[in-house]
Amino acid sequence: MNTALLIANLLTALAFVVHTFVGDKELKVIEPSDDSDVNSQKREKWTMARCGWHWVSFDLLFASMGLGLVNFTSFFEHEKTILQVLAVYFFGYALIWFLTIAISKPFANNYLKLGQWLLLLIIGGLIWIGA
């Protein structure tokens, strides 16, 4: 068994659970409560953001399932290629996260408070090493 891939699998599964359930609770903090918005613009934008949020939740679930199949079965014929693509996928997520922080208005400790980029780099690195 590949320890790096197992750790990446556990981190990805944990990220899925936290992202899906804790993250959705956090999103509710910014949910529009004022129904007087004539065109429902705020509600529409919030719902779109929530859909995007759970799109990422699905990505994390799917990645975790793929890593589980690699770790515990012989389901895939070309595991190394799949793992390399998955590693690049997580590196890309990390880069986009980091760049989005960079182009956004700064606040105190923004790179630490929004440190998901580091988790994504770690997961990508573990997958790359495990491949």
- Positive or negative, the Cα torsion across 14, 117, 80, 129? negative
- Judged against a pLDDT cut of 80, whether residue 35 lies above it is answered with no
pLDDT of residue 1: 73
d(CA 123, CA 125): 5
Domain borders along the chain are: 3-130
Report how far residue 87's alpha carbon sits from residue 84's, in angstroms, rounded to the nearest whole number. Answer: 5
Q: Is the pLDDT of residue 77 over 70?
A: yes
Is the torsion defined by CA of 88, 90, 94, 96 positive or negative? positive
Q: What is the pLDDT of residues 1-33, one digit of tens each?
A: 799 999 999 999 999 999 999 999 999 999 988
Instruction: Give dist(CA 8, CA 122) in Å, integer.
Output: 8
